[in-house]
Amino acid sequence: MDYASYHRRSIEQPEAFWAEQAALIDWHRSWDQVLDGSRKPFARWFVGAQTNLCHNAIDRHLATRAEQPALVWESTEVERSRSYSYAELHAEVQRMAAVLQRQGVVQGDRVLIYMPMIPEAAFAMLACARLGAIHSVVFGGFAALSLATRIDDARPKVIVSSDAGSRGGRVVPYKPLLDEAIARAANKPAKVVMVDRGLQAWDAVAGRDVDYAAERDAVGAAQVPCVWVDADHPSYILYTSGTTGRPKGVQRDTGGYAVALAASMRDIFCGQAGQTMFTTSDIGWVVGHSYIVYGPLISGMTTVMYEGTPLRPDPGIFWSLAERHRASVMFSSPTAVRVLKKYDTAYMRERDLSSLQRLFLAGEPLDEPTATWIAEQLGRPVVDNYWQTETGWPILGLPSGVEALPPKLGSPGVAMPGYDVRILHETSGEPVAPGEKGVVTIAWPLPPGCMQTVWGDDARYVGTYWSTFPDRQVYSTFDWGVVDARGYVTILGRTDDVINVAGHRLGTREIEESISSHAAVAEVAVIGVADEVKGQNAVAFVVPRDATRITDAAGREQLAGEIMQTVQTQLGAVARPARVLFVTLLPKTRSGKLLRRSIQALCEGRDPGDLTTLEDPGALEQVRSALSAS
């Protein structure tokens, strides 16, 4: 099929196009209206229809594939694996749903999931979907303060958690962080369901904490029917960082999400029922939501869920798992590939990867050497794709299931169905010519599956995403991009202060706020600095209250260590800056605006650019010498 006309139709006749795609999923009740645009920039898809995400992921497959593996769990951390057929997954999810019901969870309640990569985490997500409860998964690498902020915003009735995770063979306790987060939070959950893995002893809080194993026994072979919910009923909230310290709760719908995932599995990922998909992400990120849990299951595939690092027991583990489970579709991140690039390629070449069709990479820019290297090693197409937590599925990519378009190195590809991508001039808001840099935007409406709003804050949704170009009805991605004459877009970095470390989006303000809470800190600037493996690293420039603390190397090292620990304790290891450097003043304009780009340029050995507005040139000199001393 000709992709250009397929895409054009999705833009020119969105209602007809998406009504057709909607046939990919089961509905309890059909829609009265495909798209309600009466309250722009909001877009409601499949108004009046009813469905259920869990039904589409599990129940509807029972007639045809009850015995097929649905979820395969592999852990190199605890050296275990488990496989659940669709019938077994159905039973486990109903048990989890029954346990949640016993804690009082009903449709619309929020359930926060703070868990390692174990099957029960997926059961909990699917159980929430089954009940019409709204899950909010918080990545296990986040610590007490990050967790407390999310608890306060989502106000979960119940939290599902676990004693511990494991990373690189080391136990990472979860329960103490959870207890601290709940102590800090103003809105406390009524119950905490604990999945005890036996990794770390924990103290139960009387009247609040319940043991999952005991509850599971108590509910037996529970039968919990799917609750039919409206298509625009929220399925989940997933927090993501922005330019302010307060994370945004990306709210996703149910019907549009199911349709978009089903269409993306066919058009982009080419995953077919009965095949296996192995996505190396974590359920705490959007890739994990869409392409570990919901996408592959909605398509009747087997999904592989992996607890472990790319390097243990050896750097071939991803490929061993792909071989063992005959994966057809793999999805990973550029950082994971860059990590593997340092090791012997025999690990990959000796594996039988004949089942593999494509490797998809996303979450951060894919550099050309990495893309070329991995494609050569695998002898398979490597497909870059660009999207955001907000969109839930790819904005740019290659529509391999529609037409085999050639890849273009350095570009994730062309606009995916339903995305009217426009590159606009930063100030005029006019579309730029091919080859010219502009802001990557999406004209209204965002297609099904994209965020509905910011949880509990419609004004923030409109103010953040739809106000960059007030005269135009466009969603800003906050990325720079350039489009060529064939419609291939290349992403050129963020327009805001968000940084991307190993594919994880971090708000510099959030890290700055955490560092500022250290009593010795007067001022701080956190900058994203290019890193060969992780894409970017967070580097903090700190002005101490008392300059005598940093006069000698030992003093600097001590304070830097304390600051890193503060961030790790409050936000989590994921946000810990790679370096903390000290200065006595930060480079600012005369109006007090921090010159982030200039600091970043110096850190990356580039020219700091126009400095005519700089208040005190000595500040940049200090940045220079702090860098050369480090």
d(CA 269, CA 32): 30
User: Binder to ligand AMP among 77, 120, 163, 384 (CB under 6 A)?
Assistant: 384
364 lines the binding site for ligand AMP (CB under 6 A): yes
Distances (CA, A) of 201 to 78, 170, 174, 178, 193: 16, 15, 11, 14, 15
Residues 402-431 close enough to bind ligand AMP by CB under 6 A: 412
Among 146, 166, 500, 514, binds ligand AMP (CB under 6 A): 500
Q: Which of 133, 65, 136, 147 is nearest to 103 (CA)?
A: 133
Give all strands of the β-sheet with 80-85 in edge-to-edge order: 80-85, 69-75, 302-307, 276-279, 327-332, 358-362, 382-385
Candidates 177-185, 253-261, 379-387, 613-621: pick the segment binding ligand AMP (CB under 6 A): 379-387
Using CB under 6 A as the binding rule, whether residue 388 contacts ligand AMP is answered as yes
Give which of 252, 245, 237 is closest to 149, Cα–Cα: 245
Which residues from 244-303 bind ligand AMP, rule CB under 6 A?
Answer: 286
For 380, phi then psi, to 5°, come to -130, 155
Residue nearest to ligand AMP (CB): 505
Q: How many CB atoms lie within 10 A of CB 608?
A: 18
Please state, in angstroms and as integers, the Cα–Cα distance from residue 252 to each residue in 90, 236, 448, following that order. 23, 6, 10
- Give CA–CA dist 366/412, Å, rounded: 8
Strands 498-501 and 504-507: antiparallel
Give the binding range for ligand AMP (CB under 6 A) out of 190-198, 272-280, 297-305, 361-369: 361-369
505 touches ligand AMP (CB under 6 A): yes
Q: Which of 341, 494, 588, 624 binds ligand AMP (CB under 6 A)?
A: 494
Q: Which residue shows structure tokens 């469905």?
A: 51
Query: Considering only residues 462-481, where is the footprint of ligand AMP by CB under 6 A?
Result: 477, 479
Residue 510 lies near ligand AMP (rule: CB under 6 A):
no
State the Cα angle at 115 between 112 and 119, rounded to 5°: 110
- Per DSSP bridges, beta strands 474-483 and 489-494 are antiparallel
The residue among 363 and 577 lying less far from ligand AMP, judged by its C-beta, is: 363
Cβ nearer to ligand AMP, comparing 184 with 246: 246
In whole angstroms, how close is the CB of 491 to ligand AMP at the nearest point? 4
For ligand AMP, which stretch binds (CB under 6 A), given 121-129, 385-393, 400-408, 561-569? 385-393
398 binds ligand AMP, rule: CB under 6 A: no
Which of 502, 168, 170, 172 has its CA nearest to residue 311?
A: 168
Q: Kindly state the smallest distance separating residue 262's Cβ from ligand AMP, in Å.
A: 21
Choose the binding region for ligand AMP from 36-44, 195-203, 384-392, 571-579 (rule: CB under 6 A): 384-392
Least Å from the CB of residue 394 to ligand AMP: 8
Q: Which two tokens stand for residue 500?
A: 């991307």
From 275, 377, 389, 452, residue interacting with ligand AMP (rule: CB under 6 A): 389
List contacts with ligand AMP (CB under 6 A): 240, 286, 362-366, 384-386, 388-389, 412, 477, 479, 491, 494, 500, 505
